[in-house]
Amino acid sequence: MPGGLTVTIISCEQRTAARSRTVPQLQAAGLAPRIILSPCSPAGAEGNAVATREALNAAREGDLLFCEDDIDLAPDFPDALALARTITDRVVYLYAHDAPTRMHRVYGAALAQRIRNAQPIPTGLYQAHADVMGGQCVYLPAAILQRTPQPHRMPCDQLFAAVARDAGALIRLPHAVQHRADRTARPPADSAGKTSRRYHLPRMEG
């Protein structure tokens, strides 16, 4: 049986509106997210690393669901999280950037082609064969968390990718959350590939 679960949202003071859309969704799913504020300006890896370190320390005795503040939950998110919590030895991504140029490396050519064609695929957890991009909604079981290094100047998504490189990663398909890519109080950036086409794939029994 799973132990305790700590749910964190990393955000900053300027992003109240983003949080106000995400927090109620997590609460409706029966979760009590803890808000960890980091500096948005100057933005960068160092401030992110400080907030990530606080999130890791808060969950050292149990499991961690690490969320960004601009996600929307799919209707089947509770089922996706329950399935993720049966995993004890790998990092589970409930969302990952589409990155079309890398998709075939992450999933293999056949599955990547089905995703591109928006074809139905069985709902479940899929093995990643290359580094996964994104830290929007990541589940780290206690056994993984206890050996996760403390971040120094490493952003959370890079830290999770490094941990998953050693432990292995699973990705929930269709994605259990969507990324809104809200850039409030963040530097302008190309958001292409940072919202998920896989979120909208038809749900099928696995």
Got the DSSP string for 99-127?
-TTTHHHHH-HHHHHHHHTT----SEEEE
Q: Which residues of 163-189 are buried (b: 16+ CB within 10 A; e: fewer)?
A: bbeebebbbbbbbbbbbbbbeeeeeee
Backbone dihedral angles phi then psi of residue 21, each to the nearest 5 degrees: -90, -25
Among all chains, which residue has been given the structure tokens 């009590």? Answer: 32
Tokens of 136: 């929007």
Residue 53: predicted pLDDT: 82
Looking at mean pLDDT, say which of 39-48, 49-58, 91-100 comes out highest: 91-100
Kindly report whether the global pTM for this prediction surpasses the value 0.95.
Answer: no
Residue 97: predicted pLDDT: 84
The pLDDT tens digits of the residues spanning 47-84 come to 677 788 888 888 877 999 999 999 999 999 999 999 99
93: number of CA atoms within 13 Å, CB side?
34
Tokens of 170: 């699973």
CATH architecture of 5-200: Alpha-Beta Complex (3.90)
* In the chain, domain spans: 5-200
Mean pLDDT of the chain: 86
